[in-house]
Amino acid sequence: MFQKEINQFSSNPTFHIQDKIERPILVTPKDYCAKWVPKKTGIHPDEWGYNSACVKELSSVLGLSEIAIRKWGRNFNKHPDYVRVNLGNVDKLNDIAEILARR
């Protein structure tokens, strides 16, 4: 699949990888957790311990304390705006790591 993705990029003259990398992607904590916590821990949103797993994952990738993240509320709605940019960057890196792991 990785080779196919490279071929799609190289065959499209209007595609610039730099545009893909530099374009900011905003990801909410709730969306980040929904995508990555099940993949990393095997715990799904409807299972016991999911919220704690989200808090631990967010703490790990953002470098913030679990206490600070818990103050954002159960659905993390009270998060600071900058968090969406940081999680967008982490999301991109996780996607890249997945692609490379397939090789």
Burial 46-61 (b: 16+ CB within 10 A, else e): eeeebbebbbbbbbeb
3-state DSSP assignment of residue 78: coil
Q: pLDDT tens-digit profile of 75-96?
A: 999 999 999 999 999 999 998 8
Q: Which pair of tokens denotes residue 55?
A: 């808090």
Residue 64: count of CB within 10 angstroms of its CB: 18
pTM of the model: 0.76
Question: In which band, very low, low, confident or very high, does the pLDDT at 102 lie, cut at 50, 70 and 90?
Answer: confident
